Structure 1
């Protein structure tokens, strides 16, 4: 899958209202979940205790919702290459919904479209409508609008 190449605000603007792309699937093994638990100090049994999780509502451990969200930048970089930008700033997350838990050893991918983009005195504010999909599932793991600020070189 070829990356979308963006060299300017105008290149980005051409995708407004359109799907930009879909990433490859990424596996979510227990090690990744445990590392996220260590980093965030969230060791709740539903994520980290495989034996106890067997008796829980999903029959297996699930990834933290914020782990799933935090994969977005990595998956986004598989879809797009933005050139001529001095800096990218994560500006916000809007309308975030965790729709379905990601069970251990599932695979997820990102599907995104450019909801809007505007030029704010030389800074490009891009609002991406994202869906993180679970392989083999109809319901998405999460949906959100992600806001990035790109500082393009003039």
Structure 2
């Protein structure tokens, strides 16, 4: 395996890179996300009203779940040295199960594609499953596209 951490990661294309630690999605995190995005739907921020809703309580925004991906991935990939990561988007996202307030989530990452697109740009595409502790169904599955530019 290459000694350079970046080359070592590129060599693992097609493999599961790892699983992040658990992150708690509590009401304060949901409320902060609602404040940052302006999405104050009662299903997310009104525990009283949400108690009689379809999930029996408040749930995290789907986009909040996606916003946790960078922190989860940072745990698993090496320092990219002179490369700056850029979120390039998603080819596919599905929100499979609701994330109830207080749930713990973690990300499972498989490196689908990794290649040097140019001397100044790397492409990495990840298959991501966001798992909910104690649930057979994941919160989300996605193909997440990252690009790394030489800084």
- Label 1:110 to 1:93 Cα distance change in 2 as closer, same or farther (>3 A): same
Q: Once the two structures are superposed, what CA deviation does each residue of 1:8-37 show, in whole Å capped at 9, x if it has no partner?
A: 3x3222111100000010001100000000
Please give the secondary structure, in 1, of the residue aligned with 2:106: strand
Q: How far apart, in 1, do the equivalents of 2:139 and 2:21 lie?
A: 15
Conserved 8 A contact 1:17-1:113: yes
User: What is the deviation of 1:88?
Assistant: 1.0
Name which of 122, 140, 143 aligns with 1:142.
140
After superposition, give the CA deviation of every residue in 1:49-88 in whole Å (9 maximum; x if it has no partner): 0011110000010000000000000111111223323311
Alignment partner of 1:130 out of 125, 128, 145: 128
TM-superposed deviation, 1:152: 4.8
Specify the alignment match of 1:75 in structure 2: 72
Unaligned stretches of 5+ residues in structure 2: none
Over the residues paired in the alignment, what is the CA RMSD in angstroms? 1.5
* Residue range with higher mean Cα deviation, 105-114 or 142-151: 142-151
Q: Runs (4+) of structure 1 moved beyond 2 Å?
A: 5-8, 82-86
State TM-score, norm by structure 1: 0.91
Equivalent-residue separation in structure 1 for 2:144 and 2:60 (angstroms): 20
1:87 match: 84
For residues 145 and 97 of structure 1, the distance between their equivalents in structure 2, rounded to whole angstroms, comes to: 10
| SS at 1:129 equivalent | strand
Supply the distance in 2 between the matched residues of 1:48 and 1:6 (Cα, whole angstroms): 46
1:112-139 deviations in Å (ceiling 9; x for gaps): 0100112111211000000100000011
Q: Distance in 1 between matches of 2:82 and 2:93?
A: 27
Query: Across the two proteins, how many residue pairs are aligned to each other?
Result: 148
CA distance in 2, matches of 1:6, 1:16: 15
Unmatched tracts of structure 1, length 5 or more: none
